Structure 1
């Protein structure tokens, strides 16, 4: 079976990764969304039972209280590692299933923690979306209602944007999109990056 080549897509919170994912969908690329797959995985009754046993009080009426789970594990490396051990293998397996079903020559792997998970080596090309911290803070606060401190705390749980840029520079086939301007400017950067990386859908 000929699997599609992998275009890894990542970026810091508020940088505009989801916007780029939508632009790629509009250009015909299948997008495998790791966050969506994680939500799907944690709706599995077997996974919910394991989560309820590991983290009492986070499952109510057969549904996961994501806010309660987040408050339980973030800031506790051991609890976060336990959660990741429960969910990450299942997420990877589901992503692999979705990848096999793709008919395109390239599939986009939309993974917020791509570098944190050491997944860049498995990608044929990378797109990293970035924007100034002040811009990212304002975007997240306006859409989520989170305080600046809460956004900064979430941002701190990811690699710094500068480190993501450094790792992109170390990858043989990567581009960074600076999303500080208009949507039109972002689209132009994206199209240029796809040409630069040789990422195109076979016709």
Structure 2
């Protein structure tokens, strides 16, 4: 017998994607999307959350001066929270529940559309304890000096600022030890893509061309 139209969709499986700052996670998300996988970007959802009037009001109250003319001054907020773990936790308490709700809603939409796997692109996957909800985890990595240079060239941050942000994340070795598969992003794009193909084959992920 065929599946009844009213039957709920099969549970979608979750592939966590993470990596230290400057590792090249964004490049991997592009490759995953090109293979037809649905990628949910936690940073993008966080940006949308911080455009909501209710969230902006809470941020202005908690971090005075970071909201100007109805828009979040991200640089000013970063300067406050990235030097103080307690303030960073305060920011997370405001934004993380809403980000999680958005990610869950998008995952449900993907499942309804027939996706078998959904990628959760989360920079602080391990630090936030979200790895426990994943069926498999991809870690993108590169040596520290390479990562620092990448971030400096794209963001204008100083070496000291990049190192300070890196220090607030789990060490690369700790992430690699907890990964299902590791992608070493030290070569060219073709090398990275070959590694990704091997990892997806190992995990048994065969994306449908209908996924996006």
Interval of TM-score (by shorter of Structure 1 and Structure 2): over 0.9
Give the alignment's Cα RMSD to 1 decimal: 1.1
Q: 1:91 aligned to 2:99?
A: yes
> What pairs up with 1:3-22 in 2 under 5 angstroms?
3-22=11-30
Once the two structures are superposed, what CA deviation does each residue of 1:91-132 show, in whole Å capped at 9, x if it has no partner? 000000111111211111000000000111100111000011
* Aligned residue number for residue 205 of structure 2: 199
**Counterpart among 124, 131, 134 of residue 142 in structure 2:** 131
CA distance in 2, matches of 1:29, 1:130: 21
* Aligned residue number for residue 187 of structure 1: 193
Give aligned pairs, total. 198
**Counterpart among 42, 46, 69 of residue 34 in structure 1:** 42
Rg bigger for which structure?
A: 2
How far is the alpha carbon of 1:77 from its aligned partner?
A: 2.0
How far is the alpha carbon of 1:72 from its aligned partner?
A: 1.1
* Aligned residue number for residue 170 of structure 2: 159
* Aligned residue number for residue 150 of structure 1: 161
4+ residue segments displaced more than 6 Å: none
Residues 63 and 77, structure 2, Cα contact 8 Å, conserved in 1:
yes
* Aligned residue number for residue 110 of structure 1: 121
The runs of 5 or more residues in structure 1 that have no matched partner are: 169-173
How far is the alpha carbon of 1:202 from its aligned partner?
A: 4.8
Residues 36 and 208, structure 2, Cα contact 8 Å, conserved in 1:
no
TM-score, L = length of structure 1: 0.94
How far is the alpha carbon of 1:47 from its aligned partner?
A: 0.6
Once the two structures are superposed, what CA deviation does each residue of 1:60-100 show, in whole Å capped at 9, x if it has no partner? 11000111111111222221111111110000000001111
CA distance in 1, matches of 2:159, 2:166: 10
CA distance in 2, matches of 1:126, 1:175: 7
CA distance in 2, matches of 1:57, 1:20: 36
SS at match of 1:199: coil
CA distance in 1, matches of 2:79, 2:22: 20
TM-score, L = length of structure 2: 0.90
